[in-house]
Amino acid sequence: MDPKDLRFETPAIYTVRVVGFLDERWSGCFGGLTIKAESTGDDDRPITTITGRMADQATLLGLLNALYNYHFPLLSLECQCLEEL
């Protein structure tokens, strides 16, 4: 699918990166998304990457709101792969 075809209700695969540690136990809270935390070397705060298919952008907003409520600073958000309609 062409990125110009992305709509509010279009399913897609997103990758969200935040500062802080989340492990796989959070996966159930986030609808089964893949969660991977990585050390940043000298810094004591790891970076967590959350990846998975989301039904639409309302689902994505729900994830972002949850991360905001838990005070995880957002580093990046990427729409990796668009699903076929």
Residue 31 binned pLDDT confidence (cut-offs 50, 70, 90) = confident
For residue 52, the enclosing domain spans 3-82
If one counts the domains in the chain, the total is 1
Q: Kind of pairing, strands 43-54 and 12-19?
A: antiparallel
Predicted TM-score (pTM) above 0.95: no
CATH number at residue 22: 3.30.70
Give yes or no for residue 53 having a pLDDT over 70. yes
Give yes or no for residue 85 having a pLDDT over 50. no
Q: Collapsing DSSP states into helix, strand and coil, what is residue 36?
A: strand
pLDDT digits (tens, 9 = 90+) for 54-82: 999 999 999 999 999 999 999 999 998 66
- In the block, tokens 């209700």 appear at 9
